Structure 1
Amino acid sequence: MNKLRYKAAIFDMDGTVLDTLDELTISLNHIFAVRGRMAVSKEDVRQCLGYGYAGLIERTASDTGAAEKEALIHAFKEYYTSHCQGHTYPYAGIAEMLEQLKAAGSLNAIVSNKGQRAVTALHEEFFSNTVAFALGETPNLAKKPAPDMIREALRRLDCRPDEAVYIGDSEVDKLTADNAGLPVVLVTWGFRDRSFLQRLRPAALADAPDELLTYLLPPS
């Protein structure tokens, strides 16, 4: 039997295990239309992801004042949380990869800057059998790239940093892993392009879920 490279695998959610770009763009443009703002493109949204709800609004509504930004953040959070499952799907091969990791004994978890209610709903819909738990944004834990959420995941998994790996798709994920003292694997099917991710110098790059599986569960 192949031996796991790490005891635990902690995954980012958006752009790593789930393709959420359509849903996030639809929800954001709905809120913008309600409040009289111009729509933004899917590509604009893609480049702004990774920083949570507030970060998305800060970057796509940078021309507005603080009070309006707060209103947009609140409206987006409420609308998206209620509609987060309509146009969101696991990337091809993710479900099978997670199943094989779990079968090999991997402790799988998700850590996301998305709000906890949406993270819980998506975890329950797609990953309840293969991922032990999913942590989202909560008031008592600083968001990524702060290390707090990763440290909480390690505590729940009863793992040391050197026993775990973090898997993500952005510069936020690389910095998060660095801050928490974990190696990071960056995947190229998410929200950043390969050349950009390569310049971040991760422990490994994966172009497909089966490549990621081979890295995490090397052939004997």
Structure 2
Amino acid sequence: MYKAAIFDMDGTILDTITDLKDSTNHALKVNGHRCDYNVRDAARFFGSGVKVAMSRALATEAGYSDEEVDLIGVETSYAGDEAELAAVINSFEEWYPDHCDENTKPFEGIIEAIENLREQGVRTAVVSNKMHEAAVILADRYFAGGFEYVQGVDDKIRRKPNPDATLKILERMGLGQDEAVYIGDTEVDIETAHNAGLKCISVDWGFRNRRFLEHVGANPICSDMDSLVKAIID
């Protein structure tokens, strides 16, 4: 049994995609850009933080192919107007904390799963590429007391897949890398776990489906809360 389970937030414990989509469209609209993206678009944009998500949205508007968009933040950077990108990011970051909970909800059974883990002695935390302020707001609202630590992205913590936040939490918990596991729904989470020296458990109810996760080498992949708890405690 692992002594600690460190969870991603968006697409893993919380269904945030509608609010992310709406806030993205708002940030784009007020800056004069295309603003009709749907939840499937937003799921492709997010996973690597706000800057990458807004870059991908602007690149899509500019006519980049799906493959080119997906590489932004992974192998390439957005080549458009940096000032315009900064304006869109700023609009998103101003808007989202006050609108991050209009349609967001926990995935069915996740609250009980986390309570189950804690009852069995597993310590829990969150590491997210979400703005730190919003991550704390949502964790407190839906999982009050459920996590020892919640860490989003701020001016001192680099976004995943950099392992800074994960290693910081392990240090605070006084645990070794073989005593904790990271749980997430995207390829970014798999890479984050690898970079931090942790095993990764993937879930297929979030931003990436099972077929995609299998393609990027995810193992194990859980499709329900019972199998997730079992993977952590066995």
Cα contact 1:123–1:133 (8 A) shared by 2: no
Cα contact 2:31–2:87 (8 A) shared by 1: no
Per-residue deviation, 1:130: 1.6
Question: Is residue 22 of structure 1 aligned with residue 18 of structure 2?
Answer: yes
| Partner SS for 2:182 | strand
1:86-97 superposed matches below 5 A: 86-97=102-113
The corresponding residue for 1:33 is: 29
Which consecutive segments of 4 or more residues in structure 1 shift more than 6 A? none
CA distance, structure 2, for counterparts of residue 124 and residue 156 of structure 1: 19
The corresponding residue for 1:207 is: 223
Per-residue deviation, 1:137: 0.4
CA distance, structure 2, for counterparts of residue 192 and residue 30 of structure 1: 24
Aligned residues: 214
Cα contact 1:183–1:203 (8 A) shared by 2: no
Q: Deviations over 1:137-180 (max 9, x none)?
A: 01112210011111011111111100000000001001111111
The corresponding residue for 2:92 is: 76
| Partner SS for 1:61 | helix
CA distance, structure 1, for counterparts of residue 39 and residue 218 of structure 2: 26
Cα contact 1:183–1:202 (8 A) shared by 2: no
The corresponding residue for 1:189 is: 205
Q: What is the TM-score with the length of structure 2 in the denominator?
A: 0.89
Question: Is residue 177 of structure 1 aligned with residue 193 of structure 2?
Answer: yes
CA distance, structure 2, for counterparts of residue 49 and residue 16 of structure 1: 13
Percentage of pairs with the same residue: 39
The corresponding residue for 2:160 is: 144
Letter in 2 for 1:11: F
Cα contact 1:170–1:197 (8 A) shared by 2: yes
Cα contact 2:19–2:102 (8 A) shared by 1: yes
CA distance, structure 2, for counterparts of residue 105 and residue 79 of structure 1: 38
Question: Is residue 45 of structure 1 aligned with residue 42 of structure 2?
Answer: yes
Question: Is residue 105 of structure 1 aligned with residue 121 of structure 2?
Answer: yes
Cα contact 2:201–2:221 (8 A) shared by 1: yes
CA distance, structure 2, for counterparts of residue 164 and residue 139 of structure 1: 26
Cα contact 1:15–1:191 (8 A) shared by 2: yes
The corresponding residue for 1:161 is: 177
Letter in 2 for 1:34: V
The corresponding residue for 2:71 is: none
Aligned counterpart in structure 1 of residue 132 of structure 2, from 116, 125, 136 = 116
Cα contact 1:119–1:135 (8 A) shared by 2: yes
Per-residue deviation, 1:128: 2.1
Cα RMSD for the two superposed structures:
1.1
Letter in 1 for 2:101: Q
* Unaligned ranges ≥5, structure 2: 63-79
CA distance, structure 1, for counterparts of residue 159 and residue 32 of structure 2: 30
CA distance, structure 1, for counterparts of residue 157 and residue 206 of structure 2: 25
The corresponding residue for 2:55 is: 58
Letter in 2 for 1:46: A
CA distance, structure 2, for counterparts of residue 142 and residue 129 of structure 1: 25
CA distance, structure 2, for counterparts of residue 48 and residue 209 of structure 1: 26
